[in-house]
Structure 1
């Protein structure tokens, strides 16, 4: 007979663990912005009239989305709102994924949760770095969201912005196959919200790198929605 492990009540929840690191991530993003600004000034002073492409080849990451926004491209309020809102949205997905890594009863669901966690934490760091480089508030704070009543202040539309308290409580209380099913259902709705936000950025955003990230988020999470539908169909009734 297999018993479902119950997490120790003394262990911090995923949300608690994330809150302990939020200040550190914001500080790191600010430090990244200062470094980018310093490097830009140094390059302008030391390479006047010369081709800087060779140096860029050594410093640019392999990813199609750089760790810092282009200094020549002006970002818009839409880009800033997209980055702020998607950071909050990703943090909600990480809370869910971290819980599923610990609690999922099937290896396929656990593997999906691990992939979500591996993909979305670097994207959070990336967007916080952009916000700092743009001179925007990387921590989110009180801001005027591009989504108005739908998303402003992280209000009623919790399916798009993150998990509600009721969602979190239900997921934390579930065990076994019931946990896997609820996780997949909640993450599907959560991903659909991210896809909507990403499409809005691609239509209305200005920063090329923010729009490229939005395109990648739409593609990745659309594929994961299809994967989760297949996993739900495989779960025993």
Structure 2
């Protein structure tokens, strides 16, 4: 599993640049202009209370979640997948899509534009356990039990990366909504990892 130190080092430069861009008078419009209307997702805490850890958490977790949804959609389009793994993929989508909306609402409240694509994480390495293009191509091409096995293996790694991102946010974050979400991600994804490991162990041996 990637260490928290490695993830923070990889992400810090991106956040610093984006934070400076949000403050500079000549900043790009894509990172400086708040949304024209209030975010649809209701925020419970004080949105004015945030720090660089909160910004970094949102800006790395959104593309990470988007990729998990893409992986789940890829699996759900296949046949020959066990009902248990199908249910898990649906559960991941049902949990992470609202979390993406919440994180985007926070970014908008802080003066940043929404992030809507995995490519928004371009320029960062894969220390957050993001899948590479080759990984995604392999999942897309796989069928039946092979696809199920690959999905579970990839998603376990992916979830481990999300936990690595959520853990420092719980400690260093200032925004109450972002910290609460990080705690929820830690707990939920650790449970899903345990489920996925059991599902993986129950699959027939690779032929």
| TM-score (norm: length of structure 2) | 0.74
- Which ranges of structure 1 fall in alignment gaps of 5 or more residues? 1-28, 36-65, 142-151
Higher relative contact order, structure no. (Cα contacts within 8 Å, ≥ 6 residues apart): 2
Considering only aligned residues, what root-mean-square deviation do their CA atoms show, in Å?
A: 2.2
Q: Which runs of structure 1 show a deviation greater than 4 angstroms over 4 or more consecutive aligned residues? A: none
Radius of gyration: which is bigger? 1
TM-score between the two structures when normalised by the length of structure 1:
0.65
Deviations 1:135-169 (A, max 9, x none): 1232289xxxxxxxxxx8542216x2632101001
Matches of 2:179 and 2:123, distance apart in 1: 22
Unaligned runs of 5+ in 2: 1-34
> What is the Cα deviation at residue 200 of structure 1?
1.1
Q: Which residue of 2 aligns with 1:80?
A: 55
1:192 corresponding residue in structure 2: 160
Match of 1:217 among 169, 182, 185: 185
2:44, 2:107 → 1: CA distance? 9
In 1, the alpha carbon distance for the partners of 2:36 and 2:165 equals 25
Name the residue aligned to 1:31.
37
CA contact (8 A) 2:47 2:106 kept: no
1:130 aligns with 2:106: yes
State the match for 1:67 in structure 2: 42
* Pairwise CA distance, 1:177: 0.5
Q: Does 1:89 align with 2:95?
A: no
Change (3 A) 1:224 1:205: same
Cα offsets for 1:215-237 (capped at 9, x unmatched): 00000000000000000010011
Alignment coverage as a number of residue pairs: 167
Work out which of the residue numbers 68, 85, 90 in structure 2 matches 1:114. 90
Kindly indicate whether the alpha-carbon contact (under 8 Å) linking 1:161 and 1:193 is maintained by their aligned counterparts in 2.
yes
